[in-house]
Amino acid sequence: MKPRLWAPFASRVEIEILNQDPNLILKMDPVRSINSLGWFELQDIDLKPGTDYRFILDKEQVVPDPRSVWQPEGVHGPSRVVDHNSYNWQDDTWKGFSLSSAVIYECHVGTFTPEGTFKGVMKKLDYLIELGINTLELMPVSEFPGRWGWGYDGVDLYAVRDSYGGPQGLKELVDSCHQKGIAVVLDVVYNHFGPSGNYLSKFGPYFSDKYSTPWGDAINLDESGSDEVRNFLIDNAVTWFKDFHFDALRLDAIHAIFDTSATHFLTQLSDRIQDLSAEIGKPCYLIAESDLNNPRVISPIEIDGFGFDSQWSDDFHHSLWAILTNETNGYYADFGTIADLAEAFKSAFVYKGQYSIFRNRSHGSHPVNKRYSNFLAYIQDHDQVGNRAIGDRLSHVVDLDFVKMAAGLVLVSGFIPMIFQGEEWAASTPFLYFSDHSEPELGQAVTQGRQKEFASFGWDPSCIPDPQSESSFLNSKLNWDELGESKHQELLQWYKDLLRLRKDGKSLGDCALGKIDIEYSEEEKWLIIRKSSKLAIVNFSDSKAGSNLSWIKNSVKVLLSSQKVDLEDLRKGYLPPKSFIFLELN
């Protein structure tokens, strides 16, 4: 590797090559080309893989490489040279996948298995295949400070978390997935950097005070020097696809990526990734987490959209969760009716410009020319579970009947379904928020911030698990022994049945938004979604609801049902209490 560094804030840059006696310090040359302002390089040196090195700015500041691929001693330590070309990929037969057919399983490497490593995840791939999963999504794996964490406070964007297995371990995982026919999605954070171990501001104008994010300084994407900051992020996206063979990236909280320049950073990113897809001959997808309810996110770049392939649908989650739990705190204040859920099924966005009580403003706009596969549906994810006071899952809040109904709606829908680790067997473990900030002030701020947040919802602060406590991390680890118990097996079988239906092409399937028929009764609490001969029926009420629908005149075939179905009752229009039924009309 020829050392290169963009550091326009430094007038002198040296590289220190370690593991020698004495360590070698070499002055780097400023690049003189107009297109490379602020870059330093050393043309004559080629660092061998495995070499440890760091940079010295202006004779003072010793810093790791911001594009380091491996930080074996953590975010403050030296960087280690990795040769991407030396990995011997075995996934030649993998030609990518179709996102609209994906069934995604979201996992946090540190808590998914007892080992908490990529190798641990690899041991579970056969389990996932048996479950019916074809796509694995990893929560962020970029190096972050501390012994554990969710990963959204990453500071070395290019470096793969050493404790998970480092870059080699990650490649082995992706390689193994591909050989088993599983696509892999990586969660990346381009809206902020973690507060600790963040040396970027020493190098150049990575940050801006034009905008502010809830998590710290905004990244400079549209002011002086922003071209290289944008390149830093875009090259990072490229490396995951190209050097690590990922099939898709999930971008965290794109609503906090601020850019008012003529070409939005996300449009530029999509454009680059579309080119890359052609270059490497494999589909490369981008998926957004967006709180904007703005269809522009998933509109083509040709019409000034951000060009994302799909985005998470919180409105679907919230409308379903609110009905299942009757919760009204926070954003659930905006949901709670069957009509909301029906709207989520019809338009993905429930809020398309209406006034939102939670936001105290109008929210969203109409999605035009969008498909179901432009949206991910889920009833659990790391945020929706982990951002609750005690990290409790749906299965901790409602009984198994409701859990099954929720899974039914998610997994037969035309949306891209996503399951959160352990959801499929009603894991008894919570998924808590956990962090390990070594700076006492920062750690205290995280602890108190969380206590304060939930105190506003009436929680006793002493009942809120401390994110900084090791137990919050350990308690969030899945307990795979539970799978032996019949209750867990029962739910697991239900998930398998639903996914089998989906795999066999018998679920509702992808199509343009709105091209389904929906009927519901707010009072009787049932909802029917029909697409040609397929019907998904859910009765949220405790009593046998009367649906009174015309289809009952057809002869019907029950493909799947969460409760025992009496066909005679069904023909009379009666739906079993707390049931999900999937029918085919003849």
Which residues participate in catalysis according to the annotation?
A: 252, 289
CB of 267 or CB of 429, closer to a second copy: 267
For a second copy, the binding residue among 65, 222, 334, 497 (CB under 8 A) is 222
Question: What type of residue is 479?
Answer: N
Report the nearest approach of a second copy to the CB of residue 58 (Å).
Answer: 21
- Give the one residue of 95, 210, 452, 572 binding a second copy; rule: CB under 8 A: 210
Question: Which CB atom, from 271 or from 584, has the smaller least distance to a second copy?
Answer: 271
- Chosen residue from 326, 362, 444, 471 binding a second copy by CB under 8 A: 362
Report how far residue 251's alpha carbon sits from residue 72's, in angstroms, rounded to the nearest whole number: 25
From candidates 58, 73, 95, 355, binder to a second copy by CB under 8 A:
355
Cα 296 to Cα 499: distance, rounded to the nearest angstrom: 31
Compute the CA torsion angle 71, 73, 75, 77 (nearest 10 deg): -100
Which segment (10-18, 24-32, 290-298, 476-484) binds a second copy by CB under 8 A?
A: 290-298
126, 353, 463, 548: which one contacts a second copy (CB under 8 A)?
353
If binding is defined by CB under 8 A, does position 299 make contact with a second copy?
Answer: yes
Stretch that binds a second copy, among 54-62, 83-91, 293-301, 504-512 (CB under 8 A): 293-301
Tokens of 160: 């793969």
Q: Minimal distance in Å, beta carbon 302 to a second copy?
A: 10
Q: How far is CA 235 from CA 31, 116, 119, 158, 436, in A?
A: 19, 28, 27, 9, 29
Please report, as a single letter, which amino acid is at residue 13: V
Would you give the DSSP letter of residue 561?
E
Stretch that binds a second copy, among 29-37, 315-323, 434-442, 537-545 (CB under 8 A): 29-37
Query: What would the x/- binding string for a second copy be over residues 248 to 287, using CB under 8 A?
Result: -------x--x-xxxx------------------------
Report the residue from 73, 227, 490, 542 that binds a second copy according to the rule CB under 8 A.
227
Contacts of 265 (CB under 8 A, 6+ apart): 190, 221, 222, 230, 233, 257, 259
Residue 581: HSE in the Cβ half-sphere, 13 Å Cα cutoff: 27
Of 93-101, 218-226, 370-378, 535-543, the window that binds a second copy (rule: CB under 8 A) is 218-226
- Residue 416: enclosing H or E segment and its boundaries? strand 416-420
Residues 6 or more apart whose CB falls under 8 angstroms from that of 118 comprise 109, 164, 165, 169, 170, 172, 173
Side-chain half-sphere of 474: how many Cα atoms within 13 Å?
3
Q: Give min distance, CB of 23 to a second copy, in A.
A: 35
Taking the mean position of all CA atoms in its chain, how far away is CA 525?
31
Toward a second copy, which CB reaches closer, 187 or 222? 222
Q: Using CA atoms, how far apart are residues 39 and 35, in angstroms rounded to an integer?
A: 9
What distance in Å separates the CA atoms of residue 391 and residue 108, rounded to the nearest whole number? 14
The yes or no reply on residue 209 touching a second copy (CB under 8 A) is yes
Fill in the amino acid letter for 211.
Y
Q: Does 397 bind a second copy (CB under 8 A)?
A: no
Interacting residues toward a second copy by CB under 8 A: 34-35, 37, 209-212, 222-227, 255, 258, 260-263, 292-296, 299, 303-305, 353, 355, 359-365
